[in-house]
Structure 1
């Protein structure tokens, strides 16, 4: 799937799953392992929107194994070189990073990192929001420098708004894990599939050759509008007053 499709499905996943996840005592209550419940207080309007953006950005992360992907081009030579390295260690595109193991490792890793080093939380939020805006095409067509400046400005503005609203980020690692997982699910619906149970080599793919062809007419002209309507509908459902 293309970058914007992954980002939109990431946002949809968070908007759809946040309430049921918050209803789980394991995620909502404190324990001897987690001082504050991961999803405690995560259903306010600001948290839902912040979570949707973070999850949308995180849905781009598995494609770090593809030097030509949107995420590899987002921050210039830095992400391109990182992508080349990830591609090498993961065995090429749709290898290690397109698996349950990667989604779980990244989710738990981010949760530990942001709770151990507060600055990591801020960096993660900014990077994920920036990736989300880049993926959905925020910018000026044909003007790379202008698009970068708009992305930076909007990312900084959104982060400042979240900061002013005292958004809590106990759920940050969970959102990153969910975003990576929904990317894997999406790519399993394409004609190439994914090695979901990596390091096992078997690929999960839709049967009867009905997988989505990446970047073709169905994804761009039919699927993208459907996902856009789904995001608007979920936002209205979650945020509209009763």
Structure 2
């Protein structure tokens, strides 16, 4: 699937599932949990929106194994070098990063960062915001440097807003793991499939032997608009006052 499709499915997954998943322990830092005893009511609107952006960015992480992809140019040489390293470690495109092992490892790793190293957590959040913005097309067509600068500016602005509104990141591991998993599921619906149970090489295609062709009419003209409408609907449902 294309980058914008992955990002939008990540946002849809978060907006749809996060409120229910927030009842799990350690997914929220708000003191309202202590007051109410109900974790689901403690997820603030800013955390829901921040999580949607972060999950959309995390849905791009598996494609960092593809240095030629547009997403690898998000922050210029920084993400390009990172992509080259990831490609080397994972054995090329649609290798280890497109598996359950990677999704689980990234989820637990992000949770560990969020609870142990604030600086590392903030770096990851900034990277994921940037990946999400790049995936949905923020930038200047044909101008890599200009696109990178615009991305840096908007990413910085969003991160500052989240900090000023005291967004907690206890949910970071869940958002990252969910985003990576949604990417794998999406690519399993394409013709090539994914090695879901890596290190076993067998590629999974869902539904069986019926693969969506990446970048073709169905994805761009039908699926993308549907996902856009779903995101708007979920935001209204979650955030509109009763």
Q: TM-score, normalised by structure 1?
A: 0.89
How many angstroms does 1:241 deviate by? Answer: 0.8
2:157 maps to 1:154: no
Bigger drift between 229-238 and 69-78 goes to 69-78
How many angstroms does 1:29 deviate by? Answer: 8.2
CA contact (8 A) 2:73 2:144 kept: no
CA contact (8 A) 2:99 2:198 kept: yes
How many angstroms does 1:216 deviate by? Answer: 1.0
**Pair 90,42 (structure 1): closer, same or farther in 2 beyond 3 Å:** farther
1:83-140 per-residue CA deviation (whole Å, 9 max, x = no partner) reads 2232222222111100010000111111112322111121111111111111101123
The answer for the alignment partner of 2:178 in structure 1 is 178
RMSD (Å), alpha carbons: 2.0
The answer for the alignment partner of 1:91 in structure 2 is 91
1:139-163 per-residue CA deviation (whole Å, 9 max, x = no partner) reads 2333333322222221111111111
Q: Aligned with 1:140: secondary structure?
A: coil
2:169 maps to 1:169: yes
CA contact (8 A) 2:111 2:173 kept: yes
How many angstroms does 1:217 deviate by? Answer: 1.2
Query: Unaligned regions of 5+ residues in structure 1, if any?
Result: 31-36
Bigger drift between 87-96 and 3-12 goes to 87-96
**Pair 117,28 (structure 1): closer, same or farther in 2 beyond 3 Å:** closer
Q: C-alpha distance in 2, partners of 1:55/1:29?
A: 16
Q: C-alpha distance in 1, partners of 2:73/2:197?
A: 28
**Pair 199,174 (structure 1): closer, same or farther in 2 beyond 3 Å:** same
**Pair 115,41 (structure 1): closer, same or farther in 2 beyond 3 Å:** farther
CA contact (8 A) 1:65 1:92 kept: yes
1:47-196 equivalence runs, <5 A = 47-196=47-196
How many angstroms does 1:79 deviate by? Answer: 2.2
Bigger drift between 6-15 and 107-116 goes to 107-116
Q: C-alpha distance in 2, partners of 1:2/1:42?
A: 34
Q: C-alpha distance in 2, partners of 1:162/1:43?
A: 14
Bigger drift between 119-128 and 77-86 goes to 77-86
The answer for the alignment partner of 1:34 in structure 2 is none
**Pair 102,21 (structure 1): closer, same or farther in 2 beyond 3 Å:** same
How many angstroms does 1:63 deviate by? Answer: 0.7
How many angstroms does 1:207 deviate by? Answer: 4.5
**Pair 83,147 (structure 1): closer, same or farther in 2 beyond 3 Å:** closer
Q: C-alpha distance in 2, partners of 1:53/1:231?
A: 11
Query: Unaligned regions of 5+ residues in structure 2, if any?
Result: 30-36
CA contact (8 A) 2:28 2:42 kept: no
Bigger drift between 63-72 and 200-209 goes to 200-209
Structure 1 runs of 4+ with >6 Å offset: none
